[in-house]
Amino acid sequence: MTKYNEIQNQFCSAYDKRKLCSYDIEFVDGRTKPLIHQTARFLYILQGKAVFTVDNKDYDIMEDSFIAILPWETTIIKDVSEPLQFIKIVYNSDFVNSMMKKDLNTSNRLLSVIQPMAEKPIVNLTKQESKVIKDIMDVIRDEVGVESYFDIPEEKELSQIYVTNKLMELMIQHKRYSSKKECKTRAGYNIELDNRPAIFKYIYSHLAEKMTIKRLSDAFFMSESSASKYIQEVTGLTFTDLVNEMRITKVTDMLTYTDLSLNDIAMMTGFSDASHLVRVFTAKMEVSPNEYRQNYKAKENILKEKDKSVSYEMINFINTYYTEDIRVTDIAERFQMTVVDVNRTLMYHVEKNFEELLHYLRINKACEYLLTTDDAIVDIALQVGYNTIKTFNRNFLRLKGMTPGEFRKHINLQKGTETLREE
């Protein structure tokens, strides 16, 4: 049975897709599975010791390590000798980098901040340097709140601009500190490393160009079949599906943070024209680009706590009608809440936003049908609420780490108090 790397969510926040960044505290006491990050993040280690792997390169991390992870890098935490506690800031690096280079670079000098972060992702700081980073992160926390606390502080004047500037400071400080320190891979590390994980960053960096499997294979000195096979084995996606997944990620950012026309966005993200963008975007997101922009771009009021009965009524409604064509905007309208409020309420009660809960319910129901019926997979997809088999397969793979066919073949349904197990 094939196991795929997990591709993490593209959004900075689980309950508000418009957020430019989020702040949280995390704990890790053992090895993590490989994670492919769609969105950039900074980690600051408060305590603990472990080995941190970025695209197959191992680094020793400890208290005061400052880590920069870029979109589509693969990471693993392993050899945890002392449990880790760290600050995690997830942010939109494309937006911040663009603001830095275009709007603030009055000298028109060639700025390169992202590349140094890719070359030296880990910086071990002095106590004085650590204080600088910690102070910046504390300011971001006070502005955006703590994600896992569902904490939304009252928005201050010009908050997004202020937070953007603080994210720029983190990027600049990482570049400054890394430029005067040697970034060492772990002792005994094999120099002849497998560079294939960099395939994902390469594709993401060249989305505006005509990206083909031949161009990719030439860049990494691989055959086209080997490159395609590697992508499929790691992500469960075909080359074309992966490219479209990355392009849609950039499109959602531009719809949220810019007023660019669909034609301009299509050109900047590698689609042939606006109609091509609309077709691919709508198939994946199940909403048109203009509807998405209308739903998430408009500034909404600060959230207020809703009555618990309304929350449970909403959850019950989703549990009842999840196999039908329901959307988060339908829920928001029905319960007279904002989209952000819906997601925040669900996160508080079930630790999933609307889309996560919807897919969770649908895929779990699909698992039941796969194991208890002989229905065709395409029929099961329709029964649980998916309009296309591709959307069903993508979400099944994301949640279960295998395809529906592999699940049906390798998983047995146990009776009584026993649970699902692999053959």
Cα–Cα distance between 5 and 36 in angstroms, integer?
7
Give the pLDDT of residue 170: 93
Helix and strand numbers, DSSP H then E, in the chain: 18, 10
Least confident piece of the model among 15-19, 136-140, 291-295:
15-19
- Residue range 378-388: average pLDDT? 92
Tokens 């600060």 sit on residue: 302
Give the pLDDT of residue 306: 39
Give the pLDDT of residue 137: 95
Indicate whether 191 pLDDT > 50. Answer: no
DSSP codes joined into one string, 247-292: HHHHHHHHHHH----HHHHHHHHT-SSHHHHHHHHHHHHSS-HHHH
Spell out the residues 6+ positions from residue 241 whose beta carbon is closer than 8 angstroms to its own. 390, 394
CA angle 254, 91, 35 (to 5 degrees): 105
- CB-facing half-sphere around the CA of 373: CA atoms within 13 A: 13
**Residue 221: helix, strand or coil by DSSP?**
coil
Indicate whether 189 pLDDT > 50. Answer: no
CA-closest candidate to residue 163, choices 140, 142, 147: 140
Cα–Cα distance between 26 and 46 in angstroms, integer?
10
Give the burial string for 346-367 (b: 16+ CB within 10 Å, else e). bbeeeebbbbbbbbebbbebbb
315-348 tens-digit pLDDT? 888 888 899 989 989 998 888 888 888 888 888 7
Q: Please state whether beta strands 57-61 and 40-54 pair in parallel, antiparallel, or not at all (unpaired).
A: antiparallel
Give the pLDDT of residue 3: 64
Give the pLDDT of residue 42: 95
Indicate whether 422 pLDDT > 60. Answer: no
Cβ of 91: how many Cβ atoms within 10 Å? 25
Give the pLDDT of residue 197: 80
Give the pLDDT of residue 105: 52
Indicate whether 404 pLDDT > 80. Answer: yes
Q: pTM to 2 decimals?
A: 0.68
CA-closest candidate to residue 171, choices 101, 111, 97, 108: 97
